[in-house]
Amino acid sequence: MSQKSSPFNQPLDVAFHAALHHLETLDSYPVGATVSLQEMRDKLQKPLIQEGMPADEVLRELVRDTYGGVLRNPGGRFFAWAIGGVVPEALGADWLTSTWDQNAALYATGPAAAVVEEVAGGWLKELLGIAESATFAFVSGCQMAHATCLASARHALLEERGWDVERKGLWGAQAIRVVTSNRHGSIDRALRLLGMGTDCVIDLPLNENEQAVPEELARILANDPGAPTVVLLQAGDLNTGSFDDYRALIPIAKRFGAWVQIDGAFGLWAGASPQYKHLLAGVGAADSWATDGHKWLNVPYDSGYAFVARPVAHRAAMSHRASYLVHDEDARDQIDYTPEWSRRARGFATYAAIRQFGRAGIAELVNGCCDHARALVEGLGQLPGADVAWKPRLNQGLVRFLNPAAGSNELDHDCFTDEVIQRVVRGGEAFFMGTSWRGRRAMRVSVLSWQTSNHDVERAIAAVRKALAASTKAP
């Protein structure tokens, strides 16, 4: 078929050039949105049309009408939440993933997709220091990785008590408790989806280093030693990037027969760096681990990974066999491990990202982000009125801005901090967000993009300096 007659030629050509323009101007355009909600609705809210539009016009219009409403988070000066960038090779593989349009449920529906996932899963275990015997699933993000891991935990804990949860459900089963600290909201949602509910959570007290206290864990577990229990520990908590002391905590959990699950959405990647992997000492003794590819590996959305040390529990929780499905007994069918049925072939982008970086490249990426986070927080800390609430030990820091007005109290500092953040975001040079930590407001500094450079750090500090000066002058 000649290029001219192909219906794909024009739309893909428009998409390619728009994508390239977007990627090549990340550095020079505002990082945040530049149009309001109303402006975006005015442009996008068109009546449902009766007849379709010419192919190239559809995409040109989409690019035009979303203009100013697309955050430039894959660039180097986006430090909000925990959102990574996109490495070129993974992006290319992601385009091919859509092009090939494989249904990555089974080997039969996408043979190459199944094998690529099988291989990339093995590489991930090697990189992150997880036992080769662990099973894994490529899922949409860390939340679904939690759901996958916790479903495996639920199976194992209840099966040990003679209850088949896959058949009988949770009604009538012994209640499972989840003992955890400082948890991310995605854990609550995973518990809700699994029918376990959030009332099953018991808070684990933290020490001044933001680590769960072993004596407290022992005390909580001893209160009801026979109860089926998940102990959910942090590997890189969302505000400070703190790691629990696995060598102290996991043996206690095991003594009480608990399942140990790790939330390592970005922090598990410390394991890929010789400089930071000591933070994860002992984490290999857990039963399951949840992490993301779309954060620190800089794979495009969406990409999360679940690992389970007990393959029988993982498969029991997820596997499905239907008479019309074709299972190749030798191949790895993803449906035996994932919560979804039809699904995107997420393995391609991860495979490409790992091939692009190599072990050394990933270690450099992790170290570089940590270096930039430290430089950023240090630089911000030197601005007038800045107060470093948490110095990065990994890639996360917290900075607070004190209201210079005489007689200001903590609440005034909270409001001032939020005002400075808003001003920085409106300025477009850098993008930060606030958080509540130990009852006070602070600006979160999260560095996860491969694009962040020393120059970006300088530009971001200058942008905050400017916003701080403007906020100080404001009435």
Ligand X SMILES: *Cc1c(COP(=O)(O)O)cnc(C)c1O
Chain residues binding ligand X by CB under 6 A are 82, 141-143, 184, 186, 238, 263, 265-266, 292, 304
Whose Cβ is closer to ligand X: residue 353's or residue 386's? 353
Give me the least distance between CB of 301 and ligand X, in Å please.
Answer: 8
C-alpha Rg value of the chain to the nearest Å: 24
The DSSP H or E segment spanning 396 is strand 396-401
Q: What's the number of CA atoms in the CB half-sphere (13 Å) around residue 346? A: 22
Q: Which helix (H) or strand (E) holds 135?
A: strand 135-139
Shortest distance in whole angstroms from residue 268 CB to ligand X: 10
The distance from CA 38 to its chain's CA centroid, rounded to whole angstroms, is 30
Q: Which is nearer to ligand X, 76 or 141 (CB)?
A: 141
Across the strands, what pairs with 471? none
Q: Which is nearer to ligand X, 148 or 451 (CB)?
A: 148
Is 299 in contact with 349 (CB distance < 8 Å)?
Answer: yes
The residues facing 243 across adjacent strands are: 235
The nearest distance, CB 263 to ligand X, in angstroms, is 5
Q: How far is the CB of 305 from ligand X (least distance, A)?
A: 10
CB of 38 to ligand X, least distance (A): 28
Cβ 299 vs Cβ 325: under 8 Å:
no
Q: Measure CA 381 to chain center.
A: 27
Q: Which residues of 438-448 are buried (b: 16+ CB within 10 A; e: fewer)?
A: eebbbbbbbbb
Least spacing, CB of residue 211 vs ligand X, in Å? 15
Distance in Å, CB of 265 to ligand X, minimum: 3
Q: Which is nearer to ligand X, 304 or 347 (CB)?
A: 304
Which residue of this chain has its Cβ atom nearest to ligand X in the complex? 141
Beta-carbon contacts of residue 389 (< 8 Å; ≥ 6 apart) = 398, 399, 400, 437, 438, 440, 442
CA angle 136, 138, 144 (to 5 degrees): 95
Instruction: Pick the closer one to ligand X by CB: 104 or 238.
Output: 238
Nearest residue (CB) to ligand X, 142 versus 176: 142
DSSP 246-260: HHHHHHHHHHTT-EE
Residue number, 246 or 266, with CB nearest to ligand X: 266
